[in-house]
Amino acid sequence: MAVTSQSITHATSLGSILREGSLRAVYQLIVDLDTGEVVAYEALARGPEGSTLERPDLLFDVARRTGRLEELDWACRAAAVQGAMAAGFGPPLTLFVNVEPETLGSPPPAGAAALLDRAQHELALVVECTERAITARPAELLSTLAAVRQRGWAVAVDDVGADAGSLALMPFLRPDVVKLDLRLVQRRPSSAIAEIVSAVNAEAERSGACILAEGIETEAHAATARALGATLGQGWLFGRPGPLPRPLPVPRHGLSRGMPTPPDGTASPYLVATATRAARAADKRLLIEISTHLERQALALGRPTVIAGAFQEARFFTPATARRYSALGDRAAFVAALGEGMPPTPAPGVRGAVLDPGDPVRGEWDVAVVGPHFAGALVARDLGDGGPDLDRRFEFVLTYDRGLVVDVASTLLARVAPH
């Protein structure tokens, strides 16, 4: 009974907070680790000071349990933006704002929409999300981030290193900023940390993304952050969350921006690949061997890997294929299989996605594998032959160009519905 009473009290308090607009934002500064210059602030949500729901973890827990998460998340974003603009925030100073994975793709309420339009002209904004978003809602996330970039805002991936899956999914989010989980700077070096650092630095080197280390509380943590490749830092060593200062600092430079534009989500892998590569022809026998070779590569890579395959129809996802993909599902971060009539879970650990008969991918056989240090894709289009199945011919492209493979895989992930 006591738990139920507390739950009712919390739900009532949350309703009052949302109705009265009493959410507030506090801000934690982000510094350039080389110069110590303040270059950005992260907005953090808080309930009314001294209330039972002042802490953000309690706020969001109650919102999830009462079905008001979307409403709360939009209210937090609005409070963050309003507080910043009221303090005279503007470029080159940058504002980081968090987005809950579960609310991605939800339209803003009327008041928030108007506020975002105003913020588009007044703020340099970085939208933070986690890799959990792409495993749960890949199509919505990729679409939402495309809309974010159309507004001229940047994207950050948060908590990288908290889960090995984040390493595999970073290329699809195309982050401008990679935020290292605080445990990476606070713990002693290990082989697991070395794996994460290698993958993050490889991605940053390829894409030009900034690396930001969180949880810096001591000078030793700051030294570790620099050794891990971070150029930006955040933590109690530099300042605790609080109100924005008046006047605000004015950095000499803004954060670097401009990640590559992802392909149109409606494009097919074959059209993406053949835009820059010449196709050649082969029968199904050869393509079976190439695709299973890529699957073996994915199996060897283990957890920080994404594999997506398009099989035309569910009947081509045979029991033997299901066994192979189930083994991949046990080890990889994200495994998807697409086809006409494909069930939601065609094999344990595998996300199914249905292709409409009119979808151009319906005529393709595609396999894409992306890991931190390996990428490969087979992209093939059915030439429509009759006769024995193994004699069917395809035009195909085989590529190990990382950027092209990520583009190919992105077009497949953009078709995977929420889990």
CATH code of the domain containing 37: 3.20.20.450
pLDDT(22) > 70: yes
Gyration radius of the chain over CA positions: 23
Q: Mapping DSSP to helix (H, G, I), strand (E, B) and coil, where does residue 126 land?
A: strand
pLDDT of residue 166: 65
Task: Check whether 401 has a pLDDT greater than 50.
Answer: yes
Give the pair of three-digit tokens for residue 167: 């390493």
Per-residue model confidence as pLDDT tens digits over 84-119: 999 999 999 999 999 887 776 778 888 788 888 899
306 and 163 housed in the same domain: no
Q: Please state, in angstroms and rounded to a whole number, the distance separating the CA atoms of residues 15 and 126.
A: 29
- Return the axis-axis angle of helices 319-331 and 284-301, rounded to nearest 10°: 20
pLDDT in tens, 330-340: 999 899 999 99
**Of the residues 233, 255, 277, which one is the last residue of a structural domain?**
233
> The domain spanning residue 304 has which CATH number?
3.30.870
Place of tokens 């920080």: 304
Q: Which helix (H) or strand (E) holds 405?
A: helix 402-413
> Do 336 and 273 belong together in one domain?
yes
> Which tops the pLDDT comparison, 209 or 134?
209
3-state secondary structure of 208: coil
- What's the pLDDT score for residue 113? 84
**Where is pLDDT greater, at 306 or 4?**
306
pLDDT band at 386 (very low <50, low <70, confident <90, very high): confident
Stretch 43-52: mean pLDDT, rounded?
92
Look at 40-49, 161-170, 403-412 and tell me which has the smallest mean pLDDT. 161-170
Angle, helices 165-173/191-207, rounded to nearest 10 degrees? 10
* 3-class SS string, 224-257: HHHHCCCCEECCCCCCCCECCCCCCCCCCCCCCC
> Does 107 map to a domain?
yes
163 band by pLDDT with thresholds 50, 70 and 90: low
Is 400's pLDDT higher than 90?
yes
Tokens linked to 154 = 């940047």
Q: What does the alpha-carbon distance between residue 310 and residue 287 come to, in Å, rounded to a whole number?
A: 13
Is 48 among the domain residues?
A: yes
At residue 102, the pLDDT reads: 73
CA atoms within 13 A on the CB side of 93: 22
pTM recorded for the entire structure: 0.85
Q: Answer yes or no: do 293 and 144 share one domain.
A: no
Is 250 a member of any domain? Answer: no
Contact between 335 and 310 under an 8 Å Cβ cutoff? The reply is no
Give the whole-angstrom CA distance, residue 183 versus residue 216.
Answer: 10
Check if the beta carbon of residue 269 is closer than 8 Å to that of residue 355: no
pLDDT value at position 337? 97
Do 128 and 26 lie in a common domain?
yes
Residue 126 shares a structural domain with residue 41: yes
Residues 106 and 194 in one domain: yes
Q: Which two tokens stand for residue 355?
A: 């292709």
Closest CA to 30 of 16, 51, 20, 44: 44
Between 238 and 143, name the one with better pLDDT. Answer: 238
Beta strand pairing status for 393-399 and 280-283? antiparallel
**Number of domains comprising the chain:** 2
Give the range among 156-165, 220-229, 249-258 with minimum mean pLDDT: 156-165
pLDDT for 46: 94
pLDDT at 52: 87
Domain that holds residue 382: 269-413
As to burial, measured by CB atoms within 10 angstroms (0-12 exposed, 13-18 middle, 19+ buried), residue 49 is exposed
60/185 same-domain check: yes
Calculate the CA dihedral of residues 170, 174, 176, 180 and round it to 10 degrees: 0
304 in a domain, yes or no? yes
Q: Specify whether 212 is located in the same domain as 300.
A: no
Range 398-408 average pLDDT:
95
State whether 204 and 275 are in the same domain.
no
Query: 284 and 195 in one domain?
Result: no
Quote the CA–CA distance of 315 and 317 in Å, as a whole number: 5
Q: Which of 155, 80, 71, 63 is nearest to 115 (CA)?
A: 80
3-state helix, strand, coil in the chain (%, to 5): 45, 20, 35
Q: Which residue has the tokens 């283990």?
A: 302
Mean pLDDT of 226-252: 94
64 and 156, same structural domain?
Answer: yes
Q: Residue 2's pLDDT is what?
A: 45
Residue 367 is classified by DSSP as E
Contact 262, 404 (CB under 8 A): no
Res 396: pLDDT: 97
Q: Rounded to whole angstroms, how far apart are CA atoms 309 and 124?
A: 37
In a domain, 251, yes or no: no
**pLDDT > 70: percent of the chain:** 93
Question: Which strands, in side-by-side order, build the sheet including 334-340?
Answer: 280-283, 393-399, 375-382, 364-370, 306-313, 334-340, 351-354
| Most trustworthy range by pLDDT among 14-18, 111-115, 229-233 | 229-233
Domain-terminating residue out of 183, 206, 233: 233
Q: Does residue 246 lie in a domain region?
A: no
Q: What is the pLDDT of residues 251-288, one digit of tens each?
A: 988 886 656 667 777 899 999 999 999 999 999 999 99
Residue 1 confidence (pLDDT): 36
In a shared domain, residues 206 and 315: no
> What is the pLDDT at residue 140?
79
Q: Dihedral sign, CA of 345, 346, 348, 349?
A: negative
Could you say which of 211, 233, 255 is where a domain stops? 233
Asked if the structure places residue 262 within a domain, the reply is: no
Q: Is the dihedral of CA 192, 198, 203, 209 positive or negative?
A: positive
Grouping H, G, I as helix, E, B as strand and the rest as coil, residue 377 is strand
**Is pLDDT larger for residue 168 or for residue 49?**
49
Residue 252 resides in a domain:
no
Q: Is 29 in contact with 243 (CB distance < 8 Å)? A: no
Average pLDDT, the chain: 89
CB 254 within 8 A of CB 92: yes
Q: Coil, strand or helix: which one is 372?
A: coil
